[in-house]
Amino acid sequence: MSEVQNEYYNVADIFGENVFNDSVMQERLPKKTYKKLREVIEEGKELDLATADVIAHEMKEWAIEKGATHYTHWFQPLTGVTAEKHDSFISAPMSNGKVLMSFSGKELIKGEPDASSFPSGGLRATFEARGYTAWDCTSPAFVRQDAAGATLCIPTAFCSYTGEALDQKTPLLRSMEAINEQALRLLKLFGNTTSKKVTPSVGPEQEYFIVDREKYLQRKDLIFTGRTLFGAMPPKGQEMEDHYFGAIRERIAAYMKDVNKELWKLGVTAKTQHNEVAPAQHELAPIYAEANIAVDHNQLVMETLKKVAGRHGLQCLLHEKPFAGVNGSGKHNNWSITTDDGINLLEPGTTPHDNVQFLLVLTCILKAVDTHADLLREAAADVGNDHRLGANEAPPAIISIYLGEQLEDVLSQLISTGEATHSLAGSKLETGVKTLPDFMKDATDRNRTSPFAFTGNKFEFRMVGSQDSIAQPNIVLNTIVAEAFSEACDVLEKADDFDLAVHDLIKKYATEHQRIVFNGNGYSDEWVAEAEKRGLPNIKSMVDAIPALATDKAVSLFEKFGVFTKAELESRVEIEYETYAKEINIEAKAMIDIAGKQIIPAIIKYTTELAESAAAVKSVCDADISVQTGLLKEVSALLAETKAALAKLEEDTAKGGAMEEGRDQAVFYRDVVKADMDALRAPVDKLEMIVDKDIWPMPSYGDLIFEV
């Protein structure tokens, strides 16, 4: 365990010190350049090369002061993690043999990484092999300091030669434009003339596990796949002695302190940290930010959690289900829509107009989520999350919305009589419109089992996987809500009597989409049956979720708002099937390796020792050795079962690997290979409970979870 030095500092002094943020730009850039850049950021104007040159120069000077030797375009290909390619600032040596440090506007705004190794789902094959990165000036550049030195990181989008998105950021930015445009249309109808821009705000709560690095290194399954592929649950309580907890607190607290400091320097507003349900599980939540920045920052949070763990002799596990039988990890994507002058469209508000507006926004969201439940479900699909969704710890694979008692009551009044005349007890908020009800400003009640819950002034999408990028859920949310706003505006812009039309529309949407609202226990079996009656989709695996991306409904939605082309959607479908098959294939191969090289040899050693000691006992005193022989028989039977299951897994993994990439291959991995993996795990986990701890070739669940 590393020595942790106590260090005290003022957060305000270090916050954002490694970020080329607005105040740095204001201070360092010539006035004219700064003004031009603000126009690009705020009004989406084009950046000219001369301005880019000035910015690049200042950015470089600033970065060099922070010790930077290299710069990189930092982007988010469809691998789920970020990618970068480092170039140093040095230019060709001059005649005197010295070098200058240079960085041009061209290098700032455009890069050309070797794109061939990133997934493109056939996009580059059909068009052009190259990929380009383009500076996203709406997310600030930053200097990352680590063992590799200091590097200027420039957030970029990643596209093909013909402009197809090969990343997460491009469609996210497009979806933000879509919701901006449609929300402004809607606000205008309500007489708002002051708001110039509407932005989705996102606050992702990140769950993770921390284990001891020495122990982690003894688990090939964790190293290769991020989760344990074998492992019996420890008898609870036995290992949970108080001193373990004392130690956990010290070590984890020192780790968290370090993580926070790193994040603050990068301008990430790490705010809340606490222990989670499972032992060794924790959570980190930042203060919400604009969707684009929140997505970038969440990547930085994940990178920092992993990097800092190493310094403390720890390992951070971001996998959704590192331990079977122990609660897994997710990410809660808190989402709201806010204007540049501070109006949150999901805040019930205090003026009559705002309340009608709120009810319209709310019912538009009901409509959007009901219509595109399959897309939201898909946005939360990743290989690891298949272990969580539908199990008793995370929302089921059925999308529903929790509104809270009061809002649900308001809706049901609207639906049943067309008029809502009262609201349930609580602090009232006057709507001032006769036909609309009064309701409580704060829905204080919470429902932790809902995948999509209204929590006061935001929605919380609770299905997202812990290691997945939050880009996709936000792309989907922004676009489906943009569509609902757009369709509402189409009606309302033509209405003769706006008040009447908006009332009718709210009632219509509430009535047509009430099936998506569910306030009960989302983890119960009754809900699964009820949801089926209501016709809500229950999509249990990633493989079954993927097709939602490229249905006619999805293509027309995304093309209408310029978020994805059909080709881009089809490429993503292809990539997701490939990813699924590849990840399960890696897990299967890791299992084969561990079972063949570590577990079976250990069991053979154990049985040999057992047999020898039984024979020795017998030869000395002719005692009753039925316990030993019984054990020997039991272990040998399980060993035979293990060997047979291993052979079957080897055979099917080879079959799967030989199949052509695509849906059939993914289905084969899910239905055949995964079943083989379960069949291999079962006898091994039984053996772990029997065989001597000294002989077992890797740390147990108890060692990993309780002894951090």
Residues that bind ligand ADP (CB under 6 A): 201-203, 205, 272, 285-288, 334-336, 344, 455, 457-458, 460
Of the pair 332, 503, the CB lying nearest Mg ion is at 332
Of the pair 271, 643, the CB lying nearest ligand ADP is at 271
Of the pair 315, 457, the CB lying nearest ligand ADP is at 457
Minimum Å gap between C-beta 299 and ligand ADP is 15
For residue 681, the partner it binds in ligand ADP, Mg ion, none, with Cβ less than 5 to 8 A by kind, is: none
For 655, residues 6+ apart whose C-beta sits below 8 A from its C-beta are 668, 672
What string of H, E and C letters represents the secondary structure of 325-337?
CCCCCEEEEEEEE
Q: How far apart are CA 611 and CA 454, in angstroms?
A: 63
Of the pair 229, 294, the CB lying nearest ligand ADP is at 294
For residue 287, the partner it binds in Mg ion, ligand ADP, none, with Cβ less than 5 to 8 A by kind, is: ligand ADP
* Per rule CB under 5 A, count of chain residues that contact Mg ion: 1
Biggest CA–CA distance in the chain, Å, is: 104
Minimum Å gap between C-beta 337 and ligand ADP is 8
Of the pair 205, 303, the CB lying nearest ligand ADP is at 205
Please identify, among the stretches 132-140, 159-167, 214-222, 329-337, the one whose residues bind Mg ion according to the rule CB under 5 A: 329-337
Minimum Å gap between C-beta 539 and Mg ion is 24
How big is the CA angle at 365 (ends 359 and 368), to the nearest 5 degrees? Answer: 145
Q: Name the percent of the chain in helix, strand, coil, to the closest 5.
A: 50, 15, 35
Angle between helices 291-311 and 471-492 (to 10 degrees): 170
8 Å CB contact between 152 and 70: yes
Minimum Å gap between C-beta 205 and Mg ion is 5
Of the pair 170, 457, the CB lying nearest ligand ADP is at 457
Minimum Å gap between C-beta 347 and ligand ADP is 8
For residue 297, the partner it binds in Mg ion, ligand ADP, none, with Cβ less than 5 to 8 A by kind, is: none
Q: How far apart are CA 76 and CA 170, in angstroms?
A: 9
For 41, residues 6+ apart whose C-beta sits below 8 A from its C-beta are 137, 138
**DSSP, res 342:** S
8 Å CB contact between 481 and 364: yes
Q: Count CB atoms within 10 A of the CB of residue 135.
A: 23
For residue 175, the partner it binds in Mg ion, ligand ADP, none, with Cβ less than 5 to 8 A by kind, is: none
Residue type, 234: P
Q: Which residue's CB atom is positioned nearest to ligand ADP? A: 203
The secondary structure element, H or E, covering residue 463 is: strand 459-465
For residue 457, the partner it binds in ligand ADP, Mg ion, none, with Cβ less than 5 to 8 A by kind, is: ligand ADP
Minimum Å gap between C-beta 54 and ligand ADP is 35
Of the pair 331, 332, the CB lying nearest Mg ion is at 332
Of the pair 438, 460, the CB lying nearest ligand ADP is at 460
How big is the CA angle at 280 (ends 275 and 286), to the nearest 5 degrees? Answer: 40
8 Å CB contact between 371 and 467: no
**DSSP, res 161:** T
Q: How far apart are CA 107 and CA 114, in angstroms?
A: 15
Minimum Å gap between C-beta 232 and ligand ADP is 33
Minimum Å gap between C-beta 66 and Mg ion is 35
Q: Count CB atoms within 10 A of the CB of residue 122.
A: 13
Among 73, 332, 387, 681, binds Mg ion (CB under 5 A): 332
Please identify, among the stretches 3-11, 324-332, 632-640, 675-683, the one whose residues bind Mg ion according to the rule CB under 5 A: 324-332
Of the pair 457, 579, the CB lying nearest ligand ADP is at 457
Q: How far apart are CA 572 and CA 476, in angstroms?
A: 14
The secondary structure element, H or E, covering residue 158 is: strand 149-160
For residue 203, the partner it binds in Mg ion, ligand ADP, none, with Cβ less than 5 to 8 A by kind, is: ligand ADP
Of the pair 290, 641, the CB lying nearest ligand ADP is at 290
Beta bridge partners of 205: 332
Q: Which residue's CB atom is positioned nearest to Mg ion? A: 332
Minimum Å gap between C-beta 440 and ligand ADP is 17
Of the pair 139, 334, the CB lying nearest ligand ADP is at 334
DSSP string, 264-309: HHTT--EEEEEE-SSTTEEEEEEPPEEHHHHHHHHHHHHHHHHHHH
For residue 281, the partner it binds in ligand ADP, Mg ion, none, with Cβ less than 5 to 8 A by kind, is: none
Minimum Å gap between C-beta 291 and ligand ADP is 9
8 Å CB contact between 412 and 445: no
For residue 285, the partner it binds in ligand ADP, Mg ion, none, with Cβ less than 5 to 8 A by kind, is: ligand ADP
331 binds Mg ion (CB under 5 A): no
What would the two tokens of residue 673 be? 């290979």
Residues contributing to the site for Mg ion (CB under 5 A): 332
